[in-house]
Amino acid sequence: MIIEQINETKNGYFRAVDNDIEAGRMTYTWAGTDKFIIDHTEVNPDFAGQSVGKKLVMEAVHYARENNLKILPLCPFAKSVFDRTKEIQDLLF
């Protein structure tokens, strides 16, 4: 499974792909130049139980760390990952 990022001026998304099938997608919206808002995470039902959603959130965390960004997880799933994972809470705004 690979995770790709598509980043545009106002928004973007991370998507997990396995054998040319989209396993999941997490969308975000830019809030200025140093913050983004995770607004939706969706996992293909065929990939349930494979931690696809968490992998997408953690890829966003990796991207934020590399680029000195902050994250606001409005998506309930992404928020739950942040709530349960103390080591990524420093990225919250």
DSSP 7-70: E-SSEEEEEEEETTEEEEEEEEEE-SSSEEEEEEEEE-GGGTTS-HHHHHHHHHHHHHHHTT-E
pLDDT at site 74: 98
pLDDT at site 58: 98
**pTM of the model as a whole:** 0.95
pLDDT at site 53: 98
Kindly state the DSSP code that residue 87 receives in the 8-state scheme: G
pLDDT at site 11: 97
Q: What is the mean pLDDT of each successive set of 10 residues along the chain, which is 93 residues long?
A: 95 97 98 97 97 98 98 98 97 95
Triad 74, 12, 58: Cα angle to 5°: 60
Question: Domain containing 83: what range?
Answer: 2-91
Helices 52-66 and 76-84 cross at an angle (nearest 10°) of 70
Name the domain count of the chain.
Answer: 1
